[in-house]
Amino acid sequence: MATIYKKGKWAISGRVLPGCRTTPKVIDQLLEDGTVIQIDHDQKLSPSEIIELLRGCFQDALEQDGRIVLPALNENGRRVCFYTRNISHLGGEWSSEKKRIQIGEDFPRFFRLNLTEGTETVLLGIYHYYPDNKSGVVLFVCFSSATYAKKHSNNSAAHVHTIDLLNAQKHGVYRRLDKSGNELLVLDRANFIKHINSIRGAEEVDSVKKDRETLDYLGNMFDSMPRRLVGIDCYKEMMAANDTQRMNQAAWEGWYPEFYIENYLIAHPTSNIVWWSKKEQGELDFDLRFPYRKWFYGDVKSDAKDKDVQGNVKDNVDILVQQNNGRLWYIAIDFTPDRDANHGYKTTLWWNRRLGKTDKPMSYCRRMKFAITINRMDVYEITTNTIRFLDIYTPSPCAGKDRRPKYKIPARMKEYLRIYQRA
């Protein structure tokens, strides 16, 4: 039976035993159908129960010094060793959705020892809630081992929230970055086994592994992108390629990153990403498609630093996410603008002249950018659970025509949707 713990004393099923100083705090707990309740307390697995759980996931598991070790499956895989802790409430007066694992001071040494032996260290948090002590929810949270190994882990904590657990319970897999840039990977049992076995060399397609490959590809793409883009140079490049759609757009700072990414995909082909510009009538209108999973698309966005991320037409996103339980990744380029007004409207005059607008040489002058400095690339994931974090807005009329409502990611909500960042 799982137990709960509060301030140094043990209790069972929420009942305070003699000698307990404090009644355990009622916190968020997750039911199998995804319902969140606040009528119960932390449940923790004992060390022997954790070992039993992991042995149930991996039949070839070995126990060494009280920890589970998995051998590599083949020469392409790596040996895996778990450093495992229970997920529990953050403690004190923190709100009920905040959870964590406690990392012992031995973790950096443990990580370094595994590294010298060529073993993959998995810093693992286990969330367990069985309301009737017979069945319920078990989720596995893989934290950034290398990141926490660099810290002085004197009883330090790695954090996870109820929303992270909820997303994984409903979708099987959930990934995001926390405020400090640490990656959280939350998995149900089936996806946890797949993910760990992919590290060990299994050839079965693992969506977590494919996501990682795709994010690494996007990271390499971003590394190749110049950090300062000058408007006239970007226009010249698009004109040389005869990209009439993009070169005719005044907001080049949004169109040029699309141009760059499309051409990077041509020069560095990958089966994980397809540029989705040649859409047929009635097909979803996004920039990218990820073929290794059905109903998985992406879109490229560029926005000034710390601003909202302007999204796609609401109806289009709803068809993907709400109606088909799909995924949407926004690849967002965060930049600092250098306005053309500060440079004598050089870009404005050049662009209007090239397009033959001799009667309107200052068209778009107030909003034209002379250059932008790129700060970072963020990847945000929208699913049926996270779509509620989005706002809806209606763009200003264009050429006298009303425009359809769109979604946007409010700046205040970016941290809840961000799954990857590259600076």
Q: What digits encode the pLDDT tens for the residues 279-292? A: 665 678 899 999 98
| Averaged pLDDT for residues 193-204 | 88
In the predicted structure, residue 248 carries a pLDDT above the cut 60: yes
State mean pLDDT over 390-419. Answer: 83
Supply the pLDDT for residue 385: 78
CB 147 within 8 A of CB 182: yes
Tokens of residue 228, six digits: 């300062």
Is the pLDDT at 19 greater than 60? The verdict is no
- Above 80 in pLDDT, residue 153? no
Do the beta carbons of residue 149 and residue 111 sit within 8 Å?
A: yes
> What digits encode the pLDDT tens for the residues 82-127?
999 999 998 877 888 899 999 988 899 999 999 999 999 999 999 9
pLDDT at 17: 46
Amino acid 402: pLDDT: 59
**Res. 5 pLDDT band, cuts 50 70 90:** very low
Beta strands 79-86 and 119-129, pairing class: parallel
Reported as a single tens digit per residue, the pLDDT across 302-333 is 987 778 999 999 999 999 999 998 999 999 99
Q: Could you tell me the pTM of the whole model?
A: 0.74
Query: Quick one: average pLDDT of 222-227?
Result: 96
Most confident range, picked from 39-48, 114-123, 167-176, 178-187 = 114-123
- Percent of the chain at pLDDT > 90 equals 57
6, pLDDT greater than 60: no
* Cβ–Cβ < 8 Å for 186, 124: no
